[in-house]
Amino acid sequence: MNSIINCVLLDEAALTLEELARACAVEPEWVVHRVHSGILLGGTDAQPEAWRFTSVDLVRARNLRRVEQDFDANEDLAALVVDLTEEVQRLRTHLRALHG
């Protein structure tokens, strides 16, 4: 895949498997594998064609792909890095709210 789609999703909007893969510049199989392994949670139906992904899923998928690519990390390590990054962001938001 050659191009990355830049977009802004509303919480009500959803991407299909193909659209998420295109937006992340990966093959759909990359997304399917990460959903089946629990790293991406957007796909909840049995059939991948019925899966819908939110903007949160898009951000997480792009972050996973970036960590895997930039650091030559396997998917488990990338998931750990993204999980920790998301937790740090949540904690910082919570701290700002407490001191705000």
* Distance (Å, whole) CA 14 – CA 95: 31
What pLDDT is recorded for position 41? 85
Domains of the chain (ranges; CATH) run 17-99 (1.10.1660)
DSSP string, 8-39: ---TT--B-HHHHHHHHTS-HHHHHHHHHTTS
What pLDDT is recorded for position 100? 76
User: CB-hemisphere CA count at 13 Å for 57?
Assistant: 27
- For the whole model, what pTM was predicted? 0.83
Mean pLDDT of 30-44: 88
Answer yes or no: are the C-beta atoms of 26 and 64 closer than 8 Å: no
Mean pLDDT of 59-70: 98
Phi and psi angles of residue 18, each rounded to the nearest 5 degrees, phi first: -65, -40
Mean pLDDT of 60-73: 98
Answer yes or no: are the C-beta atoms of 57 and 20 closer than 8 Å: yes
